Each structure stands twice: as structure tokens, then as C-alpha cells.
Amino acid sequence: IIAATNRDLTARLKDGQFREDLYYRLNVVRIVLPPLRERRDDIPMLAHHFLQKFSRVDAHPIRGFVPETMNLLQRYLWPGNVRELEHVIERAVSLSHGPLLLPDDLPELIRRGVGETVDANVEPAGEANGALLSLDAMTKLYVIRVLKETGGNKVRAAKILGIDRRTLYRMADRFGIDLGEETTE
């Protein structure tokens, strides 16, 4: 059995939110895969892989990326991890008209630097008034920011986040985000 999660099962076990017997049955070989924002060196390889994949499907011969496009991809935080990168490349291939992907082929949030680090050499750290934020708090803030940037358009927000719209609704419920008219948090 191969099982994957983005949850800290050790913490869930201590909180009583995960069964101890199941934890020890599943925890035979543990592979920890850091988020994409911590593996920036992997972005060019993954981006080229997805470019080849979608160029074949789209029958659109795109040879690569202009340097500025790759720079934007590497500076972005990728809260949706590899799946979000895959969706961004798929979208870019579909919208591109030339042999190279240009910055204009990327979603506006990436082009404008929403969620980018101040310095590409500095690892991102979620801070609010100098205090580090939990991953959940950072995720909530990012989802709210994307919803604001899209004017509350849930379909566009889900696409930018690299998640299904149902997942966006679950996240909104989990984090107490109002998906009504416009997100004001």
C-alpha cells in the first residue's frame, strides 16, 4: 500500500485525530517531499517536462521559455505545488502563439508577482507583524488574496490555485472564508 498525505500524521496522532494502529501500519517507509517553493531548482525541469507534454497534446510546437518567463516561474511561491505548475504550463501552451512561452502567456498573478519572494535567493517565510505564520494561516491568506485578485471569480481563483472548484469551496469552509459576493478579509 502506498499512501500520501500533506498532513503531519505525527501531530494528528498526538491530537487523537489519527488512529495509532493505522499510523504504524502505514509508516513503514517514509518519504518526505518538500513543497515546490523549497525546491526551486526543480522548477525548470518540471516546467520543460510539462511543456513537452502539453505541446504534444496541443499539437503546438513550443520550443521553450524566454528567460524572463522562467525567472517568473522560479520566483513564484507555488502554493498549489507541482499540480499548480502543471496547470499554469498547460494554460500557457494553450494561449501561446509563438515558438517560446512569454511572460504574457502566464497568469496575471504570476506576472505581477503576487506571492513572489522579495529576493529570489531568500526562502519565503510567512510573517505577520514579525511572527511566523502556520501553513494553514499562509494558505488562508493566499486563497483570500487570489480571490481578491480575481474579483471573487471562483472558477478563475481555483484555476490559478491549481485546484478544483470543489476543493476551493472545502478550503473556504475550512478557513472560514466567505465566498459570497466578494472576499473582504
**Helix 154-161 and helix 81-95: axis angle, to 10°?**
110
Fold of 125-185: Arc Repressor Mutant, subunit A (1.10.10)
For the whole model, what pTM was predicted? 0.57
Residue 124's pLDDT is 43
Q: What is the pLDDT of residues 164-182, one digit of tens each?
A: 889 899 888 888 888 875 4
- Each as own residue / partner, the long-range contacts of residues 9-12 (CB below 8 Å, 24 or more positions apart, any chain) are none
Report the percentage of the chain scoring pLDDT > 90. Answer: 38
The grid cell for 166 is 470543489
Strand pairing report for 100-101 and 127-128: unpaired
pLDDT tens-digit map of 142-155: 888 888 888 888 99
- Place 73 in a pLDDT band, splitting at 50, 70 and 90: very high
Cell 504504524, residue located: 24
154 CB-contact burial (10 Å; exposed 0-12 / middle 13-18 / buried 19+):
middle
Question: Residue 15: is its pLDDT beyond 60?
Answer: yes
- Confidence at residue 181, expressed as pLDDT on a 0 to 100 scale: 54
Nearest to 36 by CA among 6, 68, 78, 99: 78
Residues contacting 37, CB < 8 A, separation 6+: 77, 78, 79, 123, 124
The CATH 1.10.10.60 domain(s) of the chain lie at 125-185
**Cross-strand bridge partners of residue 65:** 101
Tell me how far apart the alpha carbons of residues 42 and 55 are, in angstroms, rounded to a whole number: 20
Residues of the chain with CATH 1.10.8.60: 37-124
Listed range (36-45, 107-116, 164-173) with the worst mean pLDDT: 107-116
- Calpha distance 177→185 (Å, rounded): 8
**Does the pLDDT at position 13 exceed 70?**
yes
Distance of alpha carbon 10 from alpha carbon 157, whole angstroms: 32
- What is the three-class DSSP state of 100? strand
Q: What confidence score (pLDDT) does residue 115 get?
A: 55
Q: How many CB atoms lie within 10 A of CB 93?
A: 21
Instruction: Summarize pLDDT for 41-55 with one digit per residue, the tens.
Output: 999 999 999 999 998
Pick the CATH number of 37-124 from 3.30.450.40, 1.10.8.60, 3.40.50.720, 3.40.449.10: 1.10.8.60
